[in-house]
Amino acid sequence: MDIVEIARWQFGITTVYHFMMVPLTLGLGLVVALFNVLWVRTGRHEYLRLTKFWGKLFLINFIMGVATGLVQEFQFGMAWSEYSRFVGDVFGAPLAMEGLLAFFVESTFLGLWIFGWGRLKPKIHAACLMAAVVASWFSAYFIIVANSWMQHPVGYEIVDGRPVLNDIWAVLTNNTAMVAFPHAIFGSVAVAGSFLLGIAWYKLWKRRVRGIDTVDAQGRVVVGSLETGAEDRADHGIWLRSLRLGCLLGVIGFAGTAFTGHAQAQLMYEQQPLKMAAAEAACHDGTAFSVLTISSPGSRDCDDVNALIELPGLLSFLANENFHTDVPGITTLEPQYEEMYGTNLADDDLYGDRAGSEISYVPLMEVTYWGFRVMIGFGGLAAVACVFAWWITRRGTVPEAKWLMRLAVFGILAPFGANIAGWVFTEMGRQPFVVAPNPDLPLDQRVYMFTEAAVSPNASPWELIFSLASLCLIYLVLMVVEVYLIAKYVRSGVVAAMPELVEEEHDDDDDDSRRDVLSFAY
Amino acid sequence: MFEQFMDQPVLPTVWFCVVGFFWIGYVILDGFDLGVGMLMGRIFSRDEKERRLLLNTIGPVWDGNEVWLVTAGAATFAAFPMWYAALFSALYLPLTLLLLALILRAVSIEYRGKGSGQRWSSRWNALMVGSSTAIAFLIGAALALTTTGLPLNTNGDRVGGPFAWVTWPAVLGGVAMVGFCLVHALAFVALKTDGQVRHRARTLLVRLLPVALLPAAAWVLILQFRGGTPLSWAFTALAVLGGVLAWVAAVSGREGRAFAGLAVFIGAGMLAIFLALYPAVLPSTLAGGLDLEIATASSSAYTLRVMTVVGAIGVPVLLIYQSWTYWVFRKRLSTAHIPEAHSVTELATRPSVR
C-alpha cells in the first residue's frame, strides 16, 4: 500500500474523530456557561440543575476532545515531516499561539470550574467556566487560521523555495479563516442544539410513558411528580427549557452556517475554483446547480458524468450572486491547472517512487459532490426537526409516540454528520494539494505543495499501519465508552450530577466530618 | 562563563531558552502528576478510597500541566521546524505509543469514577498506572535521544528503520524520568495529603530518593563530559545540591522543601543538559549526517519576533493563573474529604430530599 494513502487515511480518520468531540465541546460549553450565569444572576434552583446536568455531559465529552487533539499536533511532525519543514515557518505560529493563548486558559480554568464548586465564590466560579469556553473558541480560531493557510496561503514571501512569514496579521485575518471560523462555530451551535433537543425529548417522553406527566383534554401538559430520584415538578421544567433552547440553537446554528457557507462558496469560487466545480460535478461551464448527478463509481472522467436534475441559475447565484454568469467547469479549469503547475510530479527525491507520475487536479468527485450535499442535507434536516419540535411541544410536553422519541434521539447525529461531511468535502476538495496555490498572487509568488511530497520520507508502511490500526482500535472502544456513559447519565437524569437531591442511604456520619467533604471529587 | 552564547544568533538562542523552559516546566509539573498516577497502583495505595485521594490531589491541575507538553511541542514546531520534523518523524513508534498512553490516561482520569462496580474502576485504574508509567518513560526516552543524537541523514531523516531509536541513552532517559516522577510524586503526596497516605509517602520518599535520582544524574553527567561548559557545570552542581537538599529535607520531614529541592534537581539538571548540548538541538550520530543546530533548525527572524511578542504576553499571564490554581487548591486532603462514590443508576431510585 502506498505510504501517502495510509498517512492520509490516518490523518483523515483521526481528524474527523477529533471533530466529533470538538463541536459538541464548543456548542455545549456555551450552553453550560449560559445556565451557570443565569443561576448566579437569578439564584433560581432550576438553573443550578441545568448547569450541573449538562456540565456533566460536557465533561464526559470534553476529555475525549482533549485526548484526541494531542494526536493532531504530533502527527504533523511524525507522518508529515516534509510538510512541517516546508511550512513550519508560517504554520507553526498559529499552533503555538493556540497552545499558549487558548488551550492553556481552557484547561486551567476548566479544572478550576470542575473542582471549584463550593470553594470559589459563585461569580468567580462562573467566570472560570466563561474563560474556559471563550478560550475554547479562540482555540478553534487559531486552528482554523492554520487550516485556512493551507487553503489560501497569505502573509508570506518565498525564500529559497520555502514560504517565510512576513505578515502575521495577514495570516490571522485571512479572509478564508474569517468565514470558515464563524461557519465552524455556527456548526457547533447546531450540534449543541440537536444534542439538547434529543436528550430533553427523551427525558420528557420518559416522564410521559411512566405516567409522571399527563395531558388534559386540550392536550396541555399536567405536570406530576415522583417521590424518588428528584423527578419532581421542577424536573419537567428543566427538560422543557432544555428542549426549547435546543430548538433555538438548532435554528440559529443552521441559519448561521447557511449565511457563512454562502460567503465561503463565493471565496472558494475565487480561491479554489476546481473544488467548487468538483462540489458540483460540473464538467462544463454553466449556471445550474445540480440536484442529482450520477457517474460511474470512482470516476474522475467527465465523459461518465450525467446531470439528471438541475436548478438553473442557482450555482451562479451561490458563486456570484446573480443568475447568469457562467461558473467554470472542470473541462475549462483542468488544462489551466496543468499549464500553471505541470502535468507530472517533478523528478525529485521528495516524491520517492511517486516521482514523475501524472497529477490529477480533479478531486474525487463522488466525495466532494456528496460531501457537499450531505452537509447541507443533514444541516437542513436538523433545522426542520428543531422547528417541528418547537411547534409540537407548544402545550408543554412531547407526544407519547415512541418512534418520534427515537427520531429525536437519532436526530442528534444529523448535525454531526453535516460537520463531518463539510470537513471531508473541504479537505478532500483541496487535493492534490496539501497547500493549495493562492490565485490572487502572481504565478511566481504562489506557494503550493502536493500532498504526495508532504509525507515523512523515513516513515515505513509498517509504522504507519501500526499507528493507524492502534488508533482506530482505541478510538472505536472509546466511542462506545463515551456513548455508554452519556446514555447512562441521561437515563439517571439530573440526580446523577447532583446526588444532594436525594437522601443518603446511611446517615451515620457525624456532622463535623461531613462539612469537610469535597463538593466535587473524581 | 557566557562565552558559549557569543557566536550564536540572538533570536534562535532566545527560543532555544523558551522551548527549554516549556520542556522543563512540563517535566516539573507533569512529573509529579504522572508519578501520582503510578502510585495509584496496588503497591502503594491500599484501597479504593486511597486511590481516589491520590487522584484528587492532581484532579484540578493535571490537564493544565499536560498543556505544557502541547505547548512545548507547538513551540518547537513554530521556532525550530527542522528540529520538530526530524525528531518527531524519527521517533514515530515511541511517539505513537506516547499518544496512545496520553489518550488512555486522560480518559481514565475522567471515566474511572463514572462507571459502576469494582471491575470498572480497577480496570481504568490499571490503565492509569500503566499509561502514567509509559508516558514518563517515553518522554524521558525522547528527551534523552534529542540530547544524545539520532542516526540522521543529510536531510535530517532517520536511517536504520523504525527501531533505530532503541539505544541505551533512550533506556537511560526513560528510566531516569520514571524514577524522578516517582519520588517527585511521593514528595507531592506527602505535601498534599494527611493521614496514613502522607506517612507512607514520607517513609518511602526517604528510602527511594537516593536511588531513584541516580539514572537522571547519570544522564546529566554524560552530557557534561561530552560537551560541558562552565555554565552547564554550574547548573550540574546546582542540580546535585537540589537533590541533596531534597533528601535532607525528606529525612527531617520537611515536605515542602523536599518537593522544591526535587524541582530544583530536575530543572537545573535539564538546564545543564540543554546548555551542554547548545547550540545543537538534535545531533546526528552518523558521520556526515545533519547535525541540527539552533541557527540551521530555526524559523525566520520575523516569525521568531512575532512569537517572542506572543510569549512575552502569554507566559507571564499563564504563570499567574496557573499559580492561582495551585493556591485555590492548596489545602491538604485526606480520605475523610473524599465523598462516597455513587452509582448513578442507584441514585435515581433513592427518595428525593424535600
- Nearest by CB to A88, which of B63, B77, B302? B77
B84 to A92: CB separation less than 8 angstroms, yes or no: yes
To the nearest whole Å, the CA of A229 is away from the closest chain B CA by 4
Q: What's the pLDDT tens digit per position in A152-173?
A: 999 999 998 899 999 999 999 9
Q: Is A149 on the interface with B (CB under 8 A)?
A: no
B338-344 long-range Cβ contacts below 8 angstroms, 24+ apart = B338/A517, B338/A518, B338/A521, B338/B49, B338/B52, B338/B53, B338/B56, B339/A517, B339/A518, B339/A519, B339/A521, B340/A504, B341/B48, B341/B52, B341/B113, B342/A499, B343/B116, B344/A488, B344/A489, B344/A492, B344/A495, B344/A496, B344/B114, B344/B116
Please say if the pLDDT value at position A28 is more than 60: yes
The structure's pTM equals 0.92
**Closest among B42, B157, B145 to B98, alpha carbons compared:** B145
To the nearest whole Å, the CA of A28 is away from the closest chain B CA by 18
Return the DSSP state at A453.
G
Confidence of residue A471 (pLDDT cuts 50, 70, 90): very high
Mean per-residue pLDDT of chain A: 88
- Domains present along chain B, CATH in parentheses: 8-302+315-333 (1.20.1630.10)
Q: Which three cell numbers stand for residue A66?
A: 482533549
**A158 neighbourhood in chain B, CB within 8 Å:** none
Mean per-residue pLDDT of chain B: 90
Q: Which three cell numbers stand for residue B282?
A: 538534535
Interface test with B, best of A63, A71, A81 (most B CBs within 10 A): A81
Nearest CA in chain B to A226: B352
Q: Is A134 on the interface with B (CB under 8 A)?
A: no
Between positions 213 and 242 of A, the ones with CB within 8 A of B are: 226-232
Interface test with A, best of B131, B344, B345, B353 (most A CBs within 10 A): B344
Q: What's the pLDDT tens digit per position in B81-108?
A: 999 999 999 999 999 999 999 999 999 9
Please say if the pLDDT value at position A139 is more than 90: yes
**B308 neighbourhood in chain A, CB within 8 Å:** none
Q: What's the pLDDT tens digit per position in A204-251?
A: 999 999 888 888 888 888 888 888 888 888 899 999 999 999 999 999
Residue pairs spanning A and B at CB distance below 8 A: 297
- Mean pLDDT (whole number) for A117-124: 91
**A518 neighbourhood in chain B, CB within 8 Å:** 56, 333, 337-339
Considering B7-21, B124-138, B332-346, the range whose residues carry the highest mean pLDDT is B124-138
Segment among B91-105, B200-214, B322-336 with least mean pLDDT: B322-336
A71 to B347: CB separation less than 8 angstroms, yes or no: no
- Nearest by CB to B328, which of A67, A112, A492? A112
Please say if the pLDDT value at position A507 is more than 70: no
**A53 neighbourhood in chain B, CB within 8 Å:** none
Amino acid at A347: D
- Nearest by CB to B351, which of A227, A463, A485? A227
Question: What's the CA gap between B224 and B67, in Å, rounded?
Answer: 30
Helix ranges (H only) for A301-412 are 314-320, 330-341, 365-392, 402-410
Residues with Cβ within 8 Å of residue A424, at least 6 apart in sequence: A12, A16, A367, A371
Confidence of residue A515 (pLDDT cuts 50, 70, 90): low
Q: Is A120 on the interface with B (CB under 8 A)?
A: yes
Please say if the pLDDT value at position A290 is more than 80: no
pLDDT at residue A452, as a whole number? 86
B74 to A95: CB separation less than 8 angstroms, yes or no: yes
Question: What's the CA gap between A149 and B336, in Å, rounded?
Answer: 53
ipTM of the complex: 0.91
Question: What's the CA gap between A169 and A171, in Å, rounded?
Answer: 5
Using an 8 Å Cβ cutoff, are A166 and A130 in contact?
no
Confidence of residue B116 (pLDDT cuts 50, 70, 90): confident
Residues with Cβ within 8 Å of residue B166, at least 6 apart in sequence: none
Q: Is A467 on the interface with B (CB under 8 A)?
A: yes
Please say if the pLDDT value at position A510 is more than 60: no
Instruction: Using a pLDDT cut of 90, give the percent of chain A over it.
Output: 56
**What end-to-end distance do the CA atoms of chain A give, in Å?**
45
Interface test with B, best of A108, A169, A468 (most B CBs within 10 A): A108
